[in-house]
Amino acid sequence: MDRIGQMQHTIERLTRPGRGILAADESYPTITKRLSDFGIESTEESRRFYRSLLATTPGIGETIGGVIFFEETLGQRTDDGLTIPAACESQDIVPGIKVDKGLVELSGSGGEKVTQGLDNLGDRLDGYLEQGALFTKWRNAYAVTDSLPSRQALDANAEVLARYAAIVQSRGMVPIVEPEVLMDGDHDIERCAVVTEAAQAALFQALRRHNVLLEYTVLKPNMVLPGKSHPRPSPEVCAEATLRVLRRTVPAAVPSINFLSGGQTSEEATANLNAINQAEGAKPWVLGFSFSRALQNPVQAAWAGDAQNKAAAQQAFLHRARLNSLARDGRYAASMEKDNA
């Protein structure tokens, strides 16, 4: 299969009806913090067991079409001896890989951040392909104040994200581009909308400059929400603001928009995704999910680091994934939260 054919096949698998993407790509410091919140020690074995638990959940391929992993996970194996990517493939789940190397200070910006990781990216991608990864993810993060992010930060991050996407597509892999406007802060929903629109507009301008094929690109944006210090808006308010920005910035050629949860509770993220899909008006993209904590928190709580809780943890994962699958189709109801069957 040629490069274009491989990307087309991957997109088709990622966007099949009812399925979304799990983000299980936490770096060592992040996974350590996430697990410690539930009293679980982060060791190589606990991380292997946990991510294997996710990949081997019976029936999870019906609602999860792709999983973004951290590079450590690509070489790890399940209890049955399969590599974790191979275990995903056995359930028709596409293995993916986070390829950025985190945030560093953007020189001359007064403290804003830019994402690093372009050095030797092509060589790393060749290795990830051999380990079974077919798509990738790169995250930018934008802090919000009355004056930030600056034009410098918006343009620098967009340029790096576009360069990443072009390199990924040269290998026949599908890039997920993630321009995350952070919920940290006291900005209102209108300010979030302004910044989100600016970040996405800069990104798509850069993608065009670098000849990135939008038909084989997935956008992973934040939903438009106020900062954490504000009361949470209704799902309908979130949906209206989010769709207004997307319609202004995202070309119809983009096949899928998979939202990040970005600090929302599991229930809030699912309700907002459902409202976005229920809203009236043109929506030329698949509007799905690529949640991390909103999918994983209930799983980690059920597991608690005890292998005897594996079945309960997998049931919690399957339940949460099914709710988000319904929300992707606009068929979720809050009453379903109580049903763990």
Q: Which residue type, as a one-letter code, is found at position 35?
A: L
Closest residue by Cα to residue 258 from 241, 273, 236, 279:
273
What's the confidence (pLDDT) of residue 87? Answer: 98
Measured distance CA(42)–CA(31) in Å, rounded: 7
| Domain assignment of residue 105, given as a range | 3-19+96-286+309-338
Asked if the structure places residue 61 within a domain, the reply is: no
Asked if the structure places residue 67 within a domain, the reply is: no
Packing angle of the helix pair 310-328, 293-303 (nearest 10 deg): 160
- Tens digit of each residue's pLDDT (9 = 90 or more) over 310-331: 999 999 999 999 999 999 999 9
Q: Judge whether residue 9 has pLDDT over 70.
A: yes
Reduced to 3 states (helix: H, G, I; strand: E, B; else coil), residue 229 is coil
Q: Judge whether residue 341 has pLDDT over 50.
A: no
What's the confidence (pLDDT) of residue 45? Answer: 96
Asked if the structure places residue 239 within a domain, the reply is: yes
CATH of the domain at 117: 3.20.20.70
What's the confidence (pLDDT) of residue 178? Answer: 98
Measured distance CA(277)–CA(290) in Å, rounded: 15
What's the confidence (pLDDT) of residue 155? Answer: 98
Measured distance CA(308)–CA(313) in Å, rounded: 10
- Tens digit of each residue's pLDDT (9 = 90 or more) over 172-189: 999 999 999 999 989 999
Q: Judge whether residue 50 has pLDDT over 60.
A: yes
Q: How high does pLDDT run on average in the chain? A: 96
Q: Judge whether residue 8 has pLDDT over 50.
A: yes
- Tens digit of each residue's pLDDT (9 = 90 or more) over 209-223: 999 999 999 999 999
Measured distance CA(274)–CA(325) in Å, rounded: 9
Asked if the structure places residue 130 within a domain, the reply is: yes
As annotated, the active-site residues are 178, 220
Stretch (H or E) spanning 76: none
Look at the chain and report how many structural domains it folds into: 1
> What own/partner pairs with CB < 8 Å and gap ≥ 24 does 297-303 have?
297/266, 298/266, 299/53, 299/54, 300/34, 300/35, 300/37, 300/38, 300/40, 300/50, 301/38, 303/38, 303/40, 303/50, 303/53
What's the confidence (pLDDT) of residue 339? Answer: 58
Asked if the structure places residue 28 within a domain, the reply is: no
pTM recorded for the entire structure: 0.97
Tell me what the mean pLDDT of segment 50-76 comes to. 97
Percent of the chain with pLDDT over 70: 99
Please give the DSSP secondary-structure letter assigned to residue 56.
T
CB atoms within 10 A of CB 152: 15
What's the confidence (pLDDT) of residue 334? Answer: 87
Asked if the structure places residue 46 within a domain, the reply is: no
Stretch (H or E) spanning 115: strand 113-115
- Tens digit of each residue's pLDDT (9 = 90 or more) over 112-168: 999 999 999 999 999 999 999 999 999 999 999 999 999 999 999 999 999 999 999
Asked if the structure places residue 184 within a domain, the reply is: yes
Asked if the structure places residue 325 within a domain, the reply is: yes
- Tens digit of each residue's pLDDT (9 = 90 or more) over 75-101: 999 999 999 999 999 999 999 999 999
State phi, psi for 337 to the nearest 5 degrees.
Answer: -60, -25
Pairing of β 113-115 and β 103-105: antiparallel
- Tens digit of each residue's pLDDT (9 = 90 or more) over 231-285: 999 999 999 999 999 999 999 999 999 999 999 999 999 999 999 999 999 999 9
Percent of the chain with pLDDT over 90: 96
- Tens digit of each residue's pLDDT (9 = 90 or more) over 138-149: 999 999 999 999
